[in-house]
Amino acid sequence: MTNDMQPKLDARAVAALREVLEIAVEQIAVQHRTPATKAKMAQTILFSARGGVTDRGALLSHAVQAGAEGAP
């Protein structure tokens, strides 16, 4: 199976996901706000969205949970 089976995200969807990421980053401890943690959170949001999660609150929750401990 190729990635062609994945739903495509349009510019508006990407902008909405980026906004969720920025809000989520503001909700984690300052010491964890590193580029690596932000990338981990972005990946979590993207995977959740591609998996069918469309609720903004759920995406935010998943991202905050992923960033709470920071990135390794």
Answer whether residue 14 is part of any domain: no
In a domain, 18, yes or no: no
Q: Look up the domain containing 39 and give its range.
A: 33-72
Which DSSP string corresponds to 6-22?
SPP--HHHHHHHHHHHH
10: left (phi over 0), alpha (psi -120 to 50) or beta: beta
Residue at 64 is within a domain: yes
- Answer whether residue 60 is part of any domain: yes
In a domain, 47, yes or no: yes
Say if 39 falls within a structural domain.
yes
Give the mean pLDDT of 36-58. Answer: 95
The pTM score is: 0.86
In a domain, 13, yes or no: no
Domains identified in the chain, total number: 1
54 C-beta neighbours (distance < 10 Å), count: 10
| Domain-embedded: residue 24 | no
Q: Is the pLDDT of residue 23 over 60?
A: yes
